[in-house]
């Protein structure tokens, strides 16, 4: 197919005056025009439009059809996601006399996109922090009933996830995010989440060392904020159904590490939340919950294909009334490590594989054994939107 395509391009390669002999890159590949450099357009003697980009440093002019090509090399339709180009005069004989070489190429594409040799555009960079997603998983049973006896499927969803940077801050917003386990049934959902990370310029402490060459070391206190409202957990246990409403929570964060653009971090967070719980043994009871957590969220590669997240959370609900065997103080521990990788895209919407392992231990729900239970799941997620990551 490559050979046929090159023959078709060669047959069409006629720009301005006379014919243009096709030339290819030295390694046999088809180069691509630089998205950040000017592109001009020219018509050949047949009236067909070509895109041309010349570089003075290499004395090379890249040219490509201003249309997508079909499988036979014929022009099919206008290029998608292509910049407008001005029809400036192109004096090819003068350029060739000056030592310029004309090389067949792929047309330019926006940041995060590329083209194949037929000019078809497709996305190759994705920001999974900006998306709408839903997924399905095969998940071993967690701690309800016996953690080793049954397996189940689950679905997860996020109706809106968006983060953005303003100066030295990164804001993260998530709306209606959750997971539903089908059999036996349980569910977790959060209506709204917002947090912000900030990078402070002035250090909290300036430490100077005098071992060898004197040097200064700055210690920054990069504080931020974390909040959630409208959390709900539904559980079915041998002793009845239980519901946990996490009305609202507010916490402060301390970033121990931040990436250059603040989209990856390692942080500590702690704070308080107000929650209410209902079960068939104790009825409804409210609690003030102290939470501490260690979180890692990291985008491994610049294209956004590989994402790692780790979370270790400790929650201590303190109830306003005594609950018998639980008393006034309960405990929830949760740890989870997940890796998500994009495997393909459908209409430029990424499909990702998420593998996660975690454990949970809690004594706040009647009928749930107070012991560690572990789970491993494999999940496919389909994301809508997911634009390219911002350029560094």
Could you say which DSSP state residue 364 is in?
S
pLDDT band at residue 13 using 50, 70 and 90 as cut-offs: very low
Give the whole-angstrom CA distance, residue 386 versus residue 53: 30
pLDDT band at residue 113 using 50, 70 and 90 as cut-offs: very high
pTM listed for this prediction: 0.85
Give the whole-angstrom CA distance, residue 65 versus residue 78: 9
pLDDT attached to residue 249: 98
Please determine, for residue 147, whether its predicted confidence score (pLDDT) is greater than 50.
no
Of 68, 85, 81, 87, nearest to 8 by C-alpha is 68
Could you say which DSSP state residue 292 is in?
E
pLDDT band at residue 291 using 50, 70 and 90 as cut-offs: very high
β-strand partners of 187 = 180, 234
Give the whole-angstrom CA distance, residue 272 versus residue 318: 11
Could you say which DSSP state residue 72 is in?
T
pLDDT band at residue 28 using 50, 70 and 90 as cut-offs: low
Q: Where along the chain do its domains lie?
A: 2-113, 131-384
The CA-atom distances, in angstroms, between 220 and each of 163, 200, 201, 260, 389 are 23, 7, 8, 15, 27
Task: Return the exposure string of 23-49: e unless at least 16 CB atoms fall within 10 Å of the residue's CB, then b.
Answer: eeeeeeebbbbeeeeebbebebeeebb
pLDDT band at residue 140 using 50, 70 and 90 as cut-offs: low
- Given a contact cutoff of 8 angstroms between Cβ atoms, the answer to whether 267 and 197 are in contact is yes
β-strand partners of 136 = 155, 380
pLDDT > 90 in the chain, percent: 73
Please determine, for residue 143, whether its predicted confidence score (pLDDT) is greater than 70.
no
Residue-wise pLDDT tens digits, 306-333: 999 999 999 999 999 988 777 899 999 9
Give the whole-angstrom CA distance, residue 107 versus residue 299: 29
Tokens of 353: 């594989």
Give the whole-angstrom CA distance, residue 104 versus residue 117: 10
Please determine, for residue 18, whether its predicted confidence score (pLDDT) is greater than 50.
no
Please determine, for residue 153, whether its predicted confidence score (pLDDT) is greater than 90.
no
Distant-in-sequence, close-in-space partners of 8: CB < 8 Å, separation ≥ 6: 69, 72, 73, 74
Enter the CATH code of domain 131-384: 2.40.160.40
Give the whole-angstrom CA distance, residue 172 versus residue 383: 17
Give the whole-angstrom CA distance, residue 387 versus residue 246: 32
Largest CA distance in the chain: 94
The CA-atom distances, in angstroms, between 329 and each of 221, 230, 265, 319 are 32, 22, 32, 6
Compute the average pLDDT of residues 211-232: 95
- Given a contact cutoff of 8 angstroms between Cβ atoms, the answer to whether 154 and 134 are in contact is no
- 89-103, 131-145, 211-225, 263-277: lowest mean pLDDT where? 131-145
Higher-confidence position of 231 and 89: 231
Please determine, for residue 58, whether its predicted confidence score (pLDDT) is greater than 70.
yes
Tokens of 222: 């990069």
pLDDT attached to residue 368: 83
pLDDT band at residue 183 using 50, 70 and 90 as cut-offs: confident
Average pLDDT over the chain reads: 89
pLDDT attached to residue 151: 56
| C-alpha distance across the termini of the chain, in Å | 37
Tokens of 295: 């979180």
Compute the average pLDDT of residues 328-345: 96
Please determine, for residue 6, whether its predicted confidence score (pLDDT) is greater than 80.
no
pLDDT attached to residue 149: 44
The dihedrals phi and psi of 3, each to the nearest 5 degrees, come to -65, -45
pLDDT attached to residue 4: 44
pLDDT attached to residue 33: 96
The CA-atom distances, in angstroms, between 292 and each of 31, 314, 317 are 52, 5, 12
Please determine, for residue 25, whether its predicted confidence score (pLDDT) is greater than 50.
no
Tokens of 230: 């409208």
- Given a contact cutoff of 8 angstroms between Cβ atoms, the answer to whether 253 and 224 are in contact is yes
Please name the helix (run of DSSP H) or strand (run of DSSP E) that holds residue 173, with its range, or none.
Answer: strand 169-181
């Amino acid at each position: 197919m490559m050979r046929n395509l090159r023959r078709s391009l060669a047959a069409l390669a006629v720009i301005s005056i006379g014919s243009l002999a096709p030339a290819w890159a030295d390694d046999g590949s088809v180069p691509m025009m630089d998205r950040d450099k000017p592109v001009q357009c020219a018509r050949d003697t047949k009236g067909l439009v070509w895109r041309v980009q010349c570089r003075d440093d290499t004395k090379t002019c890249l040219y490509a059809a201003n249309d997508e090509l079909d499988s036979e090399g014929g022009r099919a339709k206008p290029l998608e996601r292509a910049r407008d180009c001005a029809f400036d005069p192109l004096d090819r004989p003068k350029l060739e006399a000056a030592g310029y070489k004309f090389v067949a190429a792929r047309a330019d594409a926006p940041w995060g996109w590329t083209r194949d040799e037929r000019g078809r555009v497709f996305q190759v960079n994705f920001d999974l922090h900006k998306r709408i997603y839903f997924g399905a998983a095969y998940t071993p049973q967690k701690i309800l009933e016996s953690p080793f006896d049954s397996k189940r499927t689950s679905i997860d969803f996020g109706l809106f996830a968006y983060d953005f940077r303003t100066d030295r801050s990164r804001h993260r917003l998530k709306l209606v995010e959750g997971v539903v386990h089908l059999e036996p049934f349980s569910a977790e959902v959060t209506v709204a989440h917002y947090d912000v990370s900030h990078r402070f310029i002035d250090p909290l402490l300036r430490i100077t060392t005098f071992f060898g060459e004197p040097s200064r070391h700055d210690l920054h206190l990069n504080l931020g904020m974390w909040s959630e409202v409208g959390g709900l957990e539904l559980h079915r246990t041998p002793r009845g159904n239980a519901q946990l409403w996490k009305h609202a929570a507010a916490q402060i964060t301390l970033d121990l590490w931040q990436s250059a653009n603040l989209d990856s971090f390692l942080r500590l967070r702690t704070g308080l939340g107000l929650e209410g719980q209902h079960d068939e043994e104790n009825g409804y009871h409210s609690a003030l919950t102290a939470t501490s957590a260690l979180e890692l969220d990291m985008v491994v590669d610049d294209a956004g294909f590989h994402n790692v997240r780790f979370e270790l959370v400790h929650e201590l609900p303190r109830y306003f009334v005594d609950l018998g065997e639980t008393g006034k103080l309960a405990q929830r521990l949760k740890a989870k490590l997940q890796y998500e990788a994009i495997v393909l895209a459908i209409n430029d919407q990424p499909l990702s594989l998420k593998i996660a392992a975690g454990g949970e231990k809690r004594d706040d729900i009647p009928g749930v054994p107070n012991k560690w239970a572990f789970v491993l799941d494999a999940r496919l997620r389909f994301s809508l939107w997911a634009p390219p990551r911002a350029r560094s």
